[in-house]
Structure 1
Amino acid sequence: MEDLFFAGFFLGMMAFAGLFIIAGIVLFILQAIGLFNIAKKEGRGDIAWLAWIPIVSQFLLTYLVEKHVHEGLRGKVTLLYGIAIAVSVFFGYFLPFVFFIPIAVLCYALYFIAELYSDNPLFHTALALVSIGCSIPIQIFMFRKNTKPLVNESVGEGT
């Protein structure tokens, strides 16, 4: 009787893990489609295929916003993200909240993508922060159909 309980418990845990794996694959595919299309719209069709490589796609997200971020971080967001991942891997065991640093950098990058492709970038960033980054793939997939850019770049040019 006890063996049957443990077998059922193990089967239930395997089904639960399988559900998470399937959800992760679906979210990755949605993000890859969205990032691929956004990279093409940003004029980076030469590297748009990087959206289909699992870890590199996150670096592509930060790379696409390099020229849109605050002036002090221009050209450094991708490097900052790489350092954040390294710090998270090496010190995550000793400092439990270090895990959230790469997520914060991704949410920072998402803000600037949302600023270009959405009417409400703050909402999308807050949603990504509250969901600990789990909503980012869905949001990027939603942004893929928006025209670039929603922000009027000709403001202040006297047109």
Structure 2
Amino acid sequence: MEEKKVKKVDFDLEEIKKLSEEADRNKGLQLGFEQEFENEIMSFDVIDDIQNPEKAYKVYYAIEGILRTHLPSDEKYKELRRFIREEKIIFLTGGKKKNEAGIRGADSRQAYISTHLEVVLKNLLEWIQEGTSTFELFLKLRKLNIDYGYFKEEEISEYDQKLFKQKNID
């Protein structure tokens, strides 16, 4: 029986920040469809968080479209995109991370609409409006994961612990 190789997700925040800064200097133009999604999100009813596959589909693929449009597409930024998408997926799956075999055991497309999908979409739209760096998007998504308790204390890096302490001070 062949032994599967598991790719360990190990990263350095400085590496992500450096890649983000380089990518931000080479940002492409915006397509302009973000305003349409922002207006639609404001009309969503967040009180009744029942399963609505059509709405979940629309919000999930709006998130994907925004990421595809606004993240750097060059091959050298593949790892940066992977880090950001991993944070998004961890959040949307309610904190599920890949196990040693590379299996997550959850599908981010099945996330709760008002408590997860719309939260990510709102954060993406804020990030676009603020015009901040790609690194700031990574930090926004990581902060969501920390705020929702999706990282155990031993998994949180020194930088994350500063974010967590700052959240508790605010």
TM-score calculated relative to the size of structure 1: 0.29
TM-score calculated relative to the size of structure 2: 0.28
Higher Rg: 1
If asked which structure has higher relative contact order (CA below 8 Å, sep 6+), I would say 2
